[in-house]
Structure 1
Amino acid sequence: MNNSEAPFEDETLSRPSIEYLKETLPKRKLVSKELRRRGTLMAYKRALAKFGSDGCTDFAAALTYYAVLAMFPALIALVSLLGVFGQGQETIDTIMSMMEESVPAETMAFIEDPIAQLVNTPAAGLALIIGLAGSLWSASGYVGAFSRVLNQIYQVREGRPVWKLRPILFAITALMLVLVAAAALMLALSGGVAETIFDQIGLGEEALTVWNWVKYPALLVIFVFVLAILYQLTPNVQRAKFQILSLGGITALVVLGIAILGFGFYLSNFGNYNQTYGSLAGIIMFLLMLWIANLALLFGAELDSEISRSRQLLAGIEAENNIQLPLSDESGVIKLHEKETKMVREAAELRRDVWQEQARH
């Protein structure tokens, strides 16, 4: 076998089946606690190292770009949907008051103006249709980019053909938008809005108190589920099972919370963005916050991949170099290998012809 065929062998034929993993992975529980602790520490160490070597800071910038593209169509859809039910202005006021507690004032000024214009825009029905279509298309770009990043993290190529991959990405995007919309509506049920709705359906103050306590844990559950969808379904690998709560997801949430609070503290006490960027300060800080959020998400993905490697090693699976997860679809990888082999052959033929021509002279 020549060198050009070696990556193909690693990516497809040598990977174990999902049935083998389901049978073998439980063996990791038989090893000592000391070895399992070493495996977890190794996963964190490797995740930190691969976070840099995989270029996650650059990937986070690309994800920030796609997030900005998806954000404003989604805002149009959300505000228009709330406007249909006559709760647009109340909901936006509630969300803005909550954001003011953790988001810098300059960033809030950048966000508030376009949202205020959306709230006061007529023809909510048309805006709703346009916003839903635009948010679905734009957000699918974010999900697609996230899929490509996770393929890099798991050391695999995209093998799903376009006709199969695009519907998968659109389905994931639609599910995520539903969850995000549900989270926004839960935030909307606060203050006077919640009191009015609870009174109309015959629920008293006790139910309102319970709702105020339950709402934030429910929002956290939604966010955890969104992370699980991104981490588990977007890369071109199969899983032994769908894991909603992972160590990478928990770490991403913790890092995200600390990073945003720390960034807000820095801007409030040490930053001089207003003097440096003037009227653009809000935009710059908003983009920085999105970038930091995506950094946290990608570190969580790196950690999840290394936890998978650690569990395989503890089960006796040879995963030192490549994480042994079967591909969801290898047809695209095979075609890409054939294309690359053909290009290598053409290049070799060109070099051979040059050598033969020189030999004749």
Structure 2
Amino acid sequence: MAKLARRFYDVAYDAVCHLIDDDGFAMASHIALSTLLAVFPFLIFGTALANFLGADQFSSTAVHLIFDTWPEEIAKPLADQVLQVLTVPRGGLLTISVLAAAYFASNGVEALRISLNRAYRVQETRPWYVTRMASLGFVVIAVFILAAVSILLVVVPLGLDYARHWLPLLADTLEVIFSWRIYGTLFILTAGLLIVHLWLPAGRRKVYDVIPGVFITLILWLAGALIFAYYLSTFANYTATYAGLASIMIVLIFLYMIGVIFIIGGEINAAMMKFRLRSMLSHRFLSGRNRNKASTADKAADVRR
């Protein structure tokens, strides 16, 4: 038990020290600003592409899935502004503004990639155009996933109506199961974190290497959102400090907190991988030394004979 507690302490200490040494808090600021600048372009590009694919409910679906994990005091005003922006008529899919929106949306992904490279202590060896294309690919994949979810939002209610008619005893259970606002958001957030940790930064990792950091990120995200919402409703008075910029500053501070939590998840994974490798090397070293001692003892016994 003491050895396990010591290992947890070593992992936490290594993660926090590396977070500080590699300017993790400054990178969290980069993530916060890049995310805020990327939200509107992502939704503009996603709405245009989803409408082209026939997913008319993309904007409302994306807004719910993105902002349902934020405190209501932050999410509601920003979501209202986003929906107003998305109702502005735009041209066809392949317009300059939509392509520019896709590029600016990829800046948020680039911020995550740079932060995870530092957290996982890996050097980026891919050319800049390869990483940028990968970031654009993540944006497009996210749009397709949210478009598929928005289509399901049309199909699932029809299925529930059919279930109520033919299986009335299971109707309530099915309605809870298909409650997308609860389970859909959690599932997409978890899947997104796994994908980002596995394939966005340089190097290769296995699923069990990133699960601890993803789990810790989800727990800290939930706790942080609850604490921040309580702080806003009880103590905070940003208007006295930032005047008309108070709402923007609240969003930036919340995103900064999420950025720190996101980087900590990567640091925890890297520290666990480091100590796991160290324990494996120590085990092999001790095994080899024991074999050498045994071999030396056998040779000495042969000489004595």
Aligned equivalents of 1:94, 1:142: Cα separation in 2: 17
Aligned-residue offset at 1:66? 1.6
- Structure 2, unaligned stretches of length 5 or more? 284-305
Q: CA deviation at 1:284?
A: 1.2
CA distance in 2, matches of 1:100, 1:212: 19
8 Å Cα contact 1:248/1:300 also seen in 2:
yes
Percent identity for Structure 1 against Structure 2: 22
Match of 1:102 among 71, 74, 83: 71
Structure 2 Cα separation of the partners of residues 182 and 257 of structure 1? 26
Match of 1:146 among 89, 109, 112: 112
Match in the other structure for 1:133: 99
* 1:300 matched residue in structure 2: 265
SS at match of 1:238: coil
Residue pair 1:140, 1:173 contacting (<8 A) in 2 also: yes
Looking at structure 2, the residues matched to 177 and 88 of structure 1 have their Cα atoms a distance apart, in angstroms, of 9
Residue matched to 1:61 = 29
Instruction: Tell me the secondary structure at the aligned position of residue 122 of structure 1.
Output: coil
Equivalence for 2:140: 174
User: Cα distance, 1:165 vs. partner?
Assistant: 3.3
Q: TM-score, normalised by structure 1?
A: 0.63
Distance 1:303 1:207, change over 3 A: same
Instruction: Say whether residues 1:231 and 2:197 are aligned partners.
Output: yes
Shift of 1:52: 1.8
Q: Tell whether 2:93 aligns with 1:122.
A: no
TM-aligned CA deviation for residue 282 of structure 1: 1.2
Cα offset for 1:170?
A: 3.1
Alpha-carbon distance in 2 for matches of 1:144, 1:93: 20
Of Structure 1 and Structure 2, which has the larger fraction of its residues in helix?
2
The equivalent residue for 1:210 is 174
CA contact (8 A) 1:249 1:300 kept: yes
Query: How far apart, CA to CA, are the structure 2 residues paired with 1:301 and 1:93?
Result: 25
Report matched runs for 1:1-361 at 5 Å. Answer: 35-79=3-47, 81=50, 87=57, 91=60, 95=64, 99=68, 102-104=71-73, 108-119=76-87, 121-123=88-90, 126=92, 133-181=99-147, 185=150, 189=153, 197-198=158-159, 202-204=162-164, 206-207=170-171, 209-214=173-178, 215=180, 216-239=182-205, 241-243=206-208, 246-316=211-281
For residue 9 of structure 1, what is the aligned residue in structure 2? none
* Code of the aligned partner of 1:212: V
Residue 67 to residue 270, structure 1, CA distance change in 2 (3 Å): same
Letter in 1 for 2:233: S
| Alignment length (residue pairs) | 274
Q: Is the 8 A contact 1:39 1:311 kept in 2?
A: no
